[in-house]
Amino acid sequence: MTILYLIRHGETGGNFEGRFQGVIDNPLNLSGIRQAQMLGMAFSSSKIDVLYTSPLTRARQTAENIASMHGMEKLTPIKEPGLIELNGGLLEGRRFSRLAIEYPEVIEAMHSHPATLECPGGESMRDVSDRIVKTINRLAEKNRGKVILAVSHGIAISAYIHAVSGKPFEDMPNCMVANASVSKFIFNDDMTVRMEYADDCRHMEQGTYLTTRGFEQEECPNPDPYAIENTI
């Protein structure tokens, strides 16, 4: 059995200001640093064999906080380009309030039919979904029987959650995992995967990760209909 904890980075100034970040290399803000520290405390006594991170600064800082607080053994975050966020092209760095005026069809797709999202000058939702699935399958195969932590981004993680659900790609809901949330996946010996839970933020209050709770795959991790806009 192989275990994967898929973690979204902590909050950035772009998240707080309601901007489309994509692959812009923003660092964590003060709240994001605190969130990363709580993630570190949550996993401090957990078995971790390998830690991967998107190369973007906000993900790398989150991974470094987890590594620095891990008490069982020395962890060194490994940069994995396949974990990077969707490339927003011409949308990046802009406030969603402006994008709704300048690119109404794109924002409407994001809200109503995320599977059809195509960022001008950047990636499509299909691009990022195919990439994150391929990347995680490769990391799981490479680390069979191990416990893997991987720090990635909101759209990439949400696309992977939908892929694991087994539902048609076209039925992707407008759901987004929270900053510093944890989603857990179990790979069997034949590399089939199931999601144990998603968007878990209990560590934000407790600071420990001693038990887990179930997560219904039929339930949207974030029911806010503007979740992608609010948290990308």
* Residue 113 among the catalytic residues: no
Which H or E element spans position 75? none
Q: Which of 11, 64, 80, 85 is catalytic?
A: 85
Based on the residue annotation, tell me whether 85 is a catalytic residue of this protein. Answer: yes
In the chain the beta strands, taken as DSSP E runs, fall at: 2-8, 50-53, 78-79, 147-152, 182-187, 193-200
Structure token pair of residue 18:
């309601």
Angstrom CA distances, 209 to 41, 42, 177, 212, stand at 8, 5, 18, 7
Of 57, 5, 55, 3, nearest in space to 26 by CA: 57
Q: In what order do the strands lie in the sheet with 78-79?
A: 78-79, 50-53, 147-152, 2-8, 182-187, 193-200
Question: Which residue's structure tokens are 């659900």?
Answer: 165
Q: What is the dihedral sign for C-alpha 85, 86, 87, 93?
A: negative
- Show which residues are catalytic: 9, 85
